[in-house]
Amino acid sequence: MKDHISICICTIRRNLLLERLIRSLKSQQTEDLFDFSIVVVDNDSAGPARDTVVRIREELGIIIEYDIEPEQTIPAARNRALGLARGNYIGIVDDDEFVPHNWLITLYKAIQRFGVDGGLGPVYPFFANKPPVWILKGRFGERPVIKTGTLLNWTQTRTGNVLLKKNVFDKHHIRFDLKWRTSGSDRAFFREAMEAGCRFIAVEEAPVYETVPPERWEKSYYLRRALVQGFNAHKNAENQILGLSRIWIPVKLAAVAGAYIAALPLAACLGSHWYVKCLERGGYHLSRLFAMFGIELIKRRDF
């Protein structure tokens, strides 16, 4: 029997971007090695993506399973998609991304070649319109690109571009943890999977392209994102903070956050990209500090 890949997409009020992604998936090469279908989970109880999915499904003649997850959190939507997936492989891609025609087969062949449980490709930013100069100077939105075949650790993982065996979920009874409401459920998942013995590699030749919309051209976006990431970084590490670390780590975080905040006027003189980088790092360390006292500065991810 052929392998079957279920491509899982969680979406929330991004119909135009979702349509572009599905159209790019339609042209995926398979070389008759596998079949694939698409699962779309709408994370809005009103179901605003339903009409778009139905229209595209009829126009393109492709298999798309659609459902709604009313709880507006990333892990809840991901788990709903997994429940609908019928393939023995799971592909995961974000609704604001689009893919080249050889995306899926490149990931699939890499998994076979290296004998691993999954592969993760790079995510490159895409600007439909020219962004402010400071966005490009600061290389905001760019992520490290890792050589194909490199075994990843959990800190290098995310679900914006991944193909993995369904057995990773089923054999080890792993799902995305609902306590990670704002972000971080992907890394927590990969950490648990790796502790169970699963192996994942980088696949440099299988990129996807992520649209960077104008709302991400605002400096406040990067501060809010840093505040979310700081809190979740603490959650990932809190079990390792023992003994005297409970004293010196808050002191260190306070000192580092204070240094970045104090440097903001100088950074502003050097350019907006330095100012935002300083703002990001200061917000990240400040959020980690508050997290040590149980305070979550941003409790809902709506950006």
pLDDT tens-digit map of 190-234: 999 999 999 999 999 999 999 998 988 999 999 999 999 999 888
Quote the pLDDT of residue 302. Answer: 66
Decide: 209 and 98 in contact? Cβ < 8 Å.
yes
Q: What percent of the chain has pLDDT over 90?
A: 85
Residue 81 confidence (pLDDT) above 80: yes
pLDDT tens-digit map of 63-77: 999 999 999 999 999
Quote the pLDDT of residue 78. Answer: 96
Q: How many CB atoms lie within 10 A of CB 266?
A: 11
Q: Coil, strand or helix: which one is 11?
A: strand
Residue 182 confidence (pLDDT) above 90: no
Residue 235 confidence (pLDDT) above 90: no
The per-residue pLDDT of the chain, averaged, comes to 94
Decide: 166 and 90 in contact? Cβ < 8 Å.
yes
Quote the pLDDT of residue 101. Answer: 97
Which DSSP string corresponds to 143-208? Answer: -----TTPBPPGGG--SSEEEEETHHHHHTT----TT--SS-HHHHHHHHHHHTT--EEE-TT--E
Quote the pLDDT of residue 184. Answer: 84
Decide: 85 and 166 in contact? Cβ < 8 Å.
yes
Quote the pLDDT of residue 260. Answer: 96
Quote the pLDDT of residue 238. Answer: 77
Residue 303 confidence (pLDDT) above 70: no
Nearest to 6 by CA among 120, 187, 165: 165
Q: What mean pLDDT do residues 257-286 have?
A: 95
pLDDT tens-digit map of 9-21: 999 999 999 999 9
Residue 117 confidence (pLDDT) above 80: yes
pLDDT tens-digit map of 118-131: 999 999 999 988 99
pLDDT tens-digit map of 250-271: 999 999 999 999 999 999 999 9
pLDDT tens-digit map of 237-254: 877 777 878 889 999 999
